[in-house]
Amino acid sequence: MITLSTKEAMKTYFEMRREATDKGLDFLWKTPVTNKDLIIYEGEIDDEGYISWIPVEMTVTQDFKKLEDELNIKLHPSIVEYFNSYWFADLDGFFKDYYICLEAVLPDAEMVSFRESVKGYKKNHEDCLEKVPIGIEGNGLLVVIENSSGIVQLEDYERGTFSNIACNIGELIRNLKLKK
């Protein structure tokens, strides 16, 4: 089995998304405007307040040291790679029987949203960060990465259970489908 890096998996995913758009699913590249000046935006804002976006490969590397020091944790390398590969508005799709929506990485906002999500998760888990939230599943389960191994899991917070769904974030992204 060939293992792609998270960045390579993201590139493949965005190519698949572009192919689907070329077949008429142009809504896949529309997003509500959050900041008029983002480099991922393309074209004009439509009547509903949406604009087209494109993934933009990052040319800078975000330093996670301050966040890691603040949270007293060393993040799994796949998490750091995820947030240092592309800027994008949406990364979602079907994986097995699940609809998965992963954290957006927007210029100038990537760390703010992630920091708040992780801080809230840590607070709700007795100050423990064995898992790191990276998205949400369609029925409200959290998508988390086991920080020691990089394994992707679904967390049912109410039941206190975790189920493995992918060996790593690259495998999850590589296998996302736009239709069930």
pLDDT at 1 over 90: no
| Single-letter amino acid, residue 26 | D
The more confident residue out of 143 and 20 is 143
Q: How far apart are CA 89 and CA 26, in angstroms?
A: 14
Q: pLDDT tens digit string along 55-68? A: 999 988 888 999 99
pLDDT confidence of residue 137: 97
H-helix or E-strand spanning residue 163: strand 161-166
- Domains defined along the chain, listed by start: 6-174 (3.40.1580.20)
Q: pLDDT tens digit string along 8-23? A: 999 999 999 888 877 7
pLDDT confidence of residue 3: 57
Q: pLDDT tens digit string along 73-116? A: 999 999 999 999 999 999 999 999 999 999 999 887 768 889 99
| Percent of the chain topping pLDDT 90 | 61
| Single-letter amino acid, residue 6 | T
Question: Quick check: 145 and 162 in contact, CB under 8 A?
Answer: no
pLDDT at 36 over 60: yes
4 — pLDDT class (breaks 50, 70, 90): low
